[in-house]
Amino acid sequence: MSVLLSCEQGGQSIPPELSFREDLEIPAVCHDPASEVAGELSRLLRVPLIQNKHASSLIDVRLSSHHRDLFGKQTRKWKPDDRQRLLDTIYFPYREKVRSAISHQLSRQPYVVHLSVQTFGLRSKSGKIRRTDVGLSYDPSHDDEVDFCLDLIDEMYDAAPMLRVRRNYPRRGSSDSITKSMRSEFRNQPYIGIELMLNRAWSERKTALRAEAIRGITLAISQIVNITAVANAA
């Protein structure tokens, strides 16, 4: 069994192909700790990580190409030709990287676990406080994904007891996502696609508690997939 990490959030760059848009701005507040945590998990687990380096305020590579929220507030107002440039320079290349990595691992391993590392806010849109620290979003109709998440929760109970873990929260794994798309593309193949959702209340703070939590998540994953992880988190 092999592990592939991906991170669709946290990028800040703008492709050179979009330099013609002089009005394009990346919000200064769009920093997301998902890319940092994903990088640390990749280092500790010693597994590959595919990261989207471009700002999700341009285009959200997590979503399917027909989703109404695919484009950001600025870019959804662009002309069709300009939006197509976003698809051609960011969306399709990133999706192909993930797809190729999964296909490559499937050709060499009996099972591939794809963890899409993401974050969510402390408060919901309605203002309600989310008291969950880690959410595992998966397809409940996929038995292997159910079993994997149940095993991961058991392992995290021992390895990271400070974290409150909840299944299919704050969103269901059957919702539109990159793991849902890959699950469809690799149907009837030994592929498991899980969204590893982290509350920004703890994941954005570079504290000893965050390092301990990342170590715990690393240990829990390594126990299930039977790989040797690096001992220390930064």
The CA-to-CA distance between both ends of the chain, in Å, stands at 26
- Taking only the tens place, the pLDDT of each residue in 34-45 is 999 999 999 999
- pTM for this structure? 0.91
Q: pLDDT tens-digit profile of 141-159?
A: 999 999 999 999 999 999 9
* 29 inside domain: yes
Q: State which residues form the domain around 15.
A: 2-225
- Cα torsion 226, 44, 54, 135: sign: positive
Q: For 45-88, give the DSSP string.
A: HT--EEE--B-TTTB-TTS-TT-TTSB-TTGGGS-HHHHHHHII
- Beta strands 134-137 and 191-199 are antiparallel
Answer yes or no: is 231 within a domain.
no
Query: Would you call the peptide bond into 170 cis, given omega within 30 degrees of 0 as the criterion?
Result: yes
Per the domain annotation, does 220 fall within a domain? Answer: yes
The model's confidence at residue 231, banded by pLDDT at 50, 70 and 90, is low
Asked if residue 233 is part of any domain, the answer here is no
Tell me, what's the pLDDT at 27? 54
Residue 230 lies in a domain: no
In Å, how far are 6, 9, 53, 84, 114 from 102, measured between CA atoms? 11, 19, 19, 26, 8
Cα 215 to chain centroid, rounded: 18
The CATH number that applies at residue 221 is 3.40.630.40
Is 232 inside a domain boundary? no
Query: Binning pLDDT at 50, 70 and 90, where does residue 29 land?
Result: very low
Tens digit of pLDDT for each residue in 77-94?
Answer: 889 998 999 999 999 999
Domain count, the chain: 1
Rounded CA-CA distance 100/123 in Å is 36
In the chain, alpha helices (H): 34-45, 80-86, 92-106, 143-159, 178-185, 200-203, 208-225
